Structure 1
Amino acid sequence: MTGTHATPTTLDLTADPVTLTRALVDVASVSHHEDELADALEAALRTQAPHLEVLRSGNAVLARTRLGRPHRIVLAGHIDTVPIADNVPSTSADGVIHGCGTSDMKSGDAIFAHLAATVPEPRHDLTFVFYDCEEVGTIHNGLGRVEAEHRDWLDADLAILGEPTDGTLEAGCQGTMRGELRTAGRRSHSARWWLGDNAIHRAGEILDRFAGYTARDVEIDGCVYREGLQAVGIRGGVAGNVVPDECVVSVNFRFAPDRTAEQAVAHVREVFDGFELTVTDISPGALPGLSAPAAAEFVRSTGVVPRAKYGWTDVSRFAALGIPAVNYGPGDPNLAHTREEHVAEAAITACADVLRGYLAP
């Protein structure tokens, strides 16, 4: 273990997932500072789940069964949070737990950790992945490091990420592309405007194309993904008496997972033909893959109608490896990253019961 804490944190993974959620929340684990929680999870898995093989990778902790089952399921959750907003340690009142990470996603982690310790003979072989640095830049994401260094640990027939979904199964995810559209002009004194060419005025045509754009709705495996092409920022101007010679419009394209990243870029270039586009960031989406046997079985076990995931999550990483992946957790995604972040105890219990029913013999 890598931590240097004077009094190591002790976790009881056999405790009720509600109790365990509070215990996880009470260990601060802002991105890049997950070592105390990773140490506690590693120690608990090694001592309380002897049926599991355990691996430490940086501040990611992995554990798996080797029972020779015909199918393997990955249960993955990030253990980091956004910066604390005066909401650690946790509090509880009227059946609701308040605190940083309650929704996103320590309640999901608590369920996974509890199942790791209390289901020694699951119907499917299981791999548990508790990873670091999801809430920051992709380059730091612990799941990417695990993929690079321990690729075989991610092999599975289905991956379930405990991202907050309010108890609904959200399949796949949208892809996202960010970029910048530029217009060029010529500077001049604003009193002699006819000697210049206003780049901000030229951006009007770009905004008109945004306004006139018709986004697709795409149905895949019964889930409808709504695309969106939006201007999310604009900058330009030199001074109050200067005709500007450059304007930059920031664009965000949320695309359905039937498009590749390359096809998404090509589409945006087509929409804004005649303007310079610089792609600044892109992440592909994830197909739901709900027709795969393990995924179909899980859908049936939840008893809910799956819906498309609006937004990007690490299911995309699994989809890129050819592994069907879904988001399923007790938290409300609308509460993630807020000062008011909380999760209902009943929601934790309900999700834990569903997963236990799916995994236990």
Structure 2
Amino acid sequence: MPVLDLTSDPIDLCAALVDVPSVSGDEATLADAVELALQKQAPHLELLRSGDAVLARTNLGRERRVLLAGHLDTVPIADNVPSRREGELLYGCGTTDMKSGDAVLAHLAATLTDPRHDLTLVFYDCEEVEAARNGLNRIEREHRDWLRADLAILAEPTNAGVEAGCQGTLRAEITTRGRRAHSARSWHGSNAVHAAAAVLERLNAYTAREVDIDGCVYREGLQAVRIDGGVAMNVVPDECVVTVNFRFAPDRDGAAAEAHVREVFDGFELAVTDLAPGALPGLTEPAAAEFIAATGATPSAKFGWTDVSRFAALGIPAVNYGPGDPNLAHTREEHVDTRQITDAVAVLRRFLAP
């Protein structure tokens, strides 16, 4: 089993985490190593193993509890393990998404023995695959009390800035129908692909809404992301499906988002195929406001969906904060500026230390 030194420089710890492959569904070795390291190097923490997730917490009776979370899994390796260092940059699968964030959290878990807030740390599995496999689902179902907190900080890559809340996401399929015919006698048919032009016209005319929530501006978007239609090269198609994706501000819940999409495409056959609500930033909550003050940063809206939505659904204000450029996630050239790792440790220690 790889041996992790949680008290070492968190940059070196990040490299050690990257060097343990942990593609989604194969996190056991890394989870074992994290669990053993916490057992030996953080005796002040209560530990819990849930599948390939490792949870730890203090029980100091503090007025507030802060939850720090990061996923252990990565996308499939693209010839970028083991890690390598070039100046201030650390390259390797997961350096940005999100083993640099995990290193920050694990280092603080071992070295911050008397925090001013009680802490819960959640290192979980299967974030990079379908939502049904996400380890947070299992933890919520089986160990709900471990997710109690006044603030959740998800160490997703944000270039060491604060991205508050997140957008919701909805996918829907809009189907147009016609009548099949031989293309040589097309007047006997009705082309469903041509009928889909009306769907695209509504999308082209759509004006995205911008919403300011707690000083963070969320911009919505409604886009066609796929079109399926056609039978053969000599057949007028009788069915066409346009898949649309709606990214919506967190002031809409799932029902409101669906109602809006149905209103936009009123008169068309529409089926929602995926829906995940967003997360309100909650920056006016005391613990969140205190964290923002510690960072000295101006929060921005999170464009995209992250697991902060799961915490928000539990009534916990949640933000994204971690080292790494999200634009580098899942790429062959994935890397992290190691100075962001150092900075993130300093910011969180300033927030959490007595």
Question: Normalising TM by the smaller chain, what interval?
Answer: over 0.9
5+ residue gaps, structure 1: 1-7
Q: 1:127 aligns with which of 120, 130, 133?
A: 120
Superposed, which structure 2 residues align to 1:328-339 within 5 Å? 328-339=321-332
- In structure 1, the residue matched to 2:341 is 348
- In structure 2, the residue matched to 1:268 is 261
Give, in whole Å, the separation in 2 of the partners of 1:321 and 1:51.
27
Residue 59 (structure 1) shift: 0.2
Q: 1:142 aligns with which of 98, 121, 135?
A: 135
- In structure 2, the residue matched to 1:300 is 293
Residue 60 of structure 1 aligns with an amino acid whose one-letter code is A
Write out per-residue CA displacement over residues 165-196 of structure 1, whole angstroms, 9 at most, x where no aligned residue: 00110000000001100000000011111110
Write out per-residue CA displacement over residues 221-240 of structure 1, whole angstroms, 9 at most, x where no aligned residue: 00000000000010101111
Give, in whole Å, the separation in 2 of the partners of 1:180 and 1:154.
35
Please state whether the residue corresponding to 1:356 is helix, strand or coil.
helix
Write out per-residue CA displacement over residues 299-347 of structure 1, whole angstroms, 9 at most, x where no aligned residue: 0000110000000000000000000000000110000000000001111
Residue 9 (structure 1) shift: 1.2
Q: 2:147 aligns with which of 148, 154, 166?
A: 154
- In structure 1, the residue matched to 2:166 is 173
Give, in whole Å, the separation in 2 of the partners of 1:315 and 1:95.
29
Output the TM-score relative to the length of structure 1.
0.98
The runs of at least 4 aligned residues of structure 1 exceeding 2 Å deviation read none
Write out per-residue CA displacement over residues 272-311 of structure 1, whole angstroms, 9 at most, x where no aligned residue: 0011111111100000000000000000000110000000
Please state whether the residue corresponding to 1:251 is helix, strand or coil.
strand
Q: 2:88 aligns with which of 92, 95, 116?
A: 95
Please state whether the residue corresponding to 2:324 is helix, strand or coil.
coil
- In structure 1, the residue matched to 2:16 is 23
Whether 1:284 aligns to 2:274 is no
Superposed, which structure 2 residues align to 1:29-44 within 5 Å? 29-44=22-37
The count of corresponding residues between Structure 1 and Structure 2 is 354
Taking only the aligned residue pairs, the percentage that are identical comes to 71
Residue 209 (structure 1) shift: 0.1
Give, in whole Å, the separation in 1 of the partners of 2:17 and 2:85.
14
- In structure 2, the residue matched to 1:66 is 59
Whether 1:216 aligns to 2:224 is no
Residue 36 (structure 1) shift: 0.4
Please state whether the residue corresponding to 2:196 is helix, strand or coil.
helix
Give, in whole Å, the separation in 2 of the partners of 1:106 and 1:326.
18
Give, in whole Å, the separation in 1 of the partners of 2:37 and 2:340.
24
Give, in whole Å, the separation in 1 of the partners of 2:160 and 2:112.
21
Residue 216 of structure 2 aligns with an amino acid whose one-letter code is C
Residue 27 of structure 1 aligns with an amino acid whose one-letter code is V
Give, in whole Å, the separation in 2 of the partners of 1:190 and 1:67.
75
Give, in whole Å, the separation in 1 of the partners of 2:114 and 2:100.
23
Give, in whole Å, the separation in 2 of the partners of 1:177 and 1:152.
30
- RMSD over equivalenced CA pairs, Å: 0.5
Output the TM-score relative to the length of structure 2.
1.00
Give, in whole Å, the separation in 2 of the partners of 1:261 and 1:15.
44
